[in-house]
Copies of this chain bind each other. A is one copy, B any other.
Amino acid sequence: MKKFMNRAETLVAESLAGLVSAHERLVTFGADGKFVRRRSLRPGKVSLISGGGAGHEPMHVGFVGRGMLDAACTGHVFTSPTPDQIVAAIRETDRGEGCLLIVKNYDGDVMNFEMAAELVAAEHRIATVVVRDDVDPGGSKRSQGRRGVAGTVVMEKLLGAAAEAGWRLDELSALGESLNGRIRTMGVSLRGVTVPDTERETFVLPEDEMEIGVGIHGEPGRARVKFATADEIVETMLEAILGELASERDENLLMFINGYGGTPASELYLVYNSAKAQCERLGLTIARPLVGTYVTSLDMAGLSITVARLAERELSLWDAPVDTAALRWGG
């Protein structure tokens, strides 16, 4: 797999430098370049910090800015950021109201964010939300139960808007826990990815097969099945997602079609069209859609579908202005 890069050792730093430079109005590097933070930090609000391995861009660095994250810590490709990166982000962005750490449920991430929280426990109030939006992966090895995947965007947007509106640390933490039970995601891959360091493919799929329930590091999913039409693929995914959401009529559903990096917008919109129609046939209305490439797995061909059940006030949080590199709306 050909990639636009110079050396594997520097590709994350070079890519981050490009992002920070292209969006210098919004973001800047934190101390020693250990993380990316908002250019202007607002006093009187809880600091929201997330992070994880590189290779999922624009998540999380693309979500740093007004109405979303205060800082994002990026590790090497598919590798957790180190505790000292997270500690540096906490120290630089906590304005006295504490920090909420938003962590995807992977062993390495959970461990390093926990370690960072312990290291600063004497000086900073810290709460952590571990995002677990993946449908039940069964016996997958790389996770401790449900993984944190594309639903992380929904979590970061809603918590970001709430923090901007002045919610306290304990209120944000409670919202995050509550959302964890109401956001579900399932992914499908048409092609494995090649990790730049190892030049090893995560998996190889025959031309007529796809991997259902795949994770965002290309880890295997529930089943490898014959490739099918978009309608059939969507039906399989929605069945799994809605089966875990216990969704009811007249609820506010958010639907998020997320590209994995190698799938163009035209296909994502086609899938949204199919998913919306299928929901309507089940009596479910989509209150808010999001379609785009936000949580990638390098250049993997594939996508995920996320559905979230939201309360009225959460729809307002979703609609609230956001101004980041990757997500932008409102005044």
CA A11 to CA B57, docked complex, whole Å: 28
| Interchain nearest-CB distance for A281 vs B (Å) | 15
A328 touches B329 (CB 8 A): yes
Are A266 and B21 neighbours in the complex by a CB distance under 8 Å? no
With a CB–CB cut-off of 8 A, which chain B residues contact A58?
265
Interface pair B207/A18, CB less than 8 Å apart: no
What residues of B have a CB within 8 angstroms of the CB of A298 in the complex?
A: 264, 266
Residues of B within 8 A of A274 (CB): 6, 14, 18
- Interface residues on chain A, size class: 35 or more
Tell me what chain A mostly uses at the interface: helix, strand, loop, or mixed.
Answer: mixed
Question: Does A233 belong to the interface (CB within 8 Å)?
Answer: yes
Partner-binding segment picked from A90-98, A107-115, A120-128, A289-297: A289-297
Q: In the complex the two chains form, is A15's CB within 8 Å of B262's CB?
A: no
Q: In chain A between 277 and 331, which residues have their CB closer than 8 angstroms to a CB of chain B?
A: 289-291, 293, 296, 298-299, 301, 303, 326, 328-329, 331
A230 contacts across to B, CB distance below 8 A:
4-6, 14
A-B contacts, 14 listed (Cβ < 8 Å): A2-B301, A11-B266, A14-B230, A14-B274, A18-B271, A18-B274, A21-B273, A22-B291, A54-B266, A57-B269, A58-B265, A262-B301, A263-B299, A266-B296
Known: A2-B207, A18-B270; 4 extra A-B contacts, CB below 8 A, are A5-B229, A262-B264, A265-B326, A267-B299
